Amino acid sequence: MARSRTPKFDASEAITNELIRIIERGVLPWRKPWTAGGSARPLRHNSEPYQGVNNFLLTMRTVMAGYISPFWMTVPQANTLGAKIRKGEKSSVVVYYGQSHKQAQGDSRSEDDSSEEARVFRFQKSYRVFNADQIEGLPVAFHPDACSAPDHTPSAPVPHMQAFFDAIDITTVFGGTEARYNPPVDKVFMPSIERFKDPLNFYGVWAHELAHNAALRIMPRRSKRPVAFQLDRRGASA
């Protein structure tokens, strides 16, 4: 009887599926019209910024999951710092692209030789990282202040728009750096208007979060779990 083989993990497929889930949710997390403090870019454990697609992916994951820390690291890197991954946390996939040279058979020249005899092989590797907010025991430097002062003139409420939203019978909690609707408690959580460069963006984000409540009332059988958090089951957990 032939043994069943576990499908080989495909990083490109996993990343593509995650992007599709986020788009289907109807949110553009790379457009964030408020300031959240800390670094605007995902950072490695040594404070080196991520580049390319990893910068894009980890920025989206930070926003969608509501992480405050910009730092990401592997399990061994966390262990080296005397920390450990919180039980039940899910990892995020990042990718590495590189190339190697292989000499033609019988050629003894150096691998640095750029002649046509040297064949170039490009490869992709993937590994998994966790945000510092998913890790216990890290030094305080990995948890910067999430509520630093905005670097712009604080916005003020627009009276007629504020009156309209105040009349909606859904509790909204202001503060912090996250914008989300929480179905179990039936509340909307929003950053304060002072964190928005444009007050119209504040009301736009507020309306979007309120719409999640309306969707559940109109379609109560729909899953209450945000699509963006239905991560690949093959994702590693601590």
Q: Residues 164, 202: contact at Cβ < 8 Å? A: no
User: What is the pLDDT at residue 104?
Assistant: 56
Q: Please tell me which residue, 232 or 64, carries the higher pLDDT value.
A: 64
User: What are the extents of the domains in the chain?
Assistant: 11-229
Q: Please tell me which residue, 120 or 44, carries the higher pLDDT value.
A: 44
3-state secondary structure of 60: helix
Whether 93 shows a pLDDT value over 60: the answer reads yes
Q: Would you give the DSSP letter of residue 41?
A: S
3-state secondary structure of 74: coil
User: What is the pLDDT at residue 137?
Assistant: 95
User: What is the pLDDT at residue 83?
Assistant: 96
Q: Residues 37, 146: contact at Cβ < 8 Å? A: yes
C-alpha to C-alpha distances, 186 to 95, 206, 224, nearest whole angstrom: 37, 14, 11
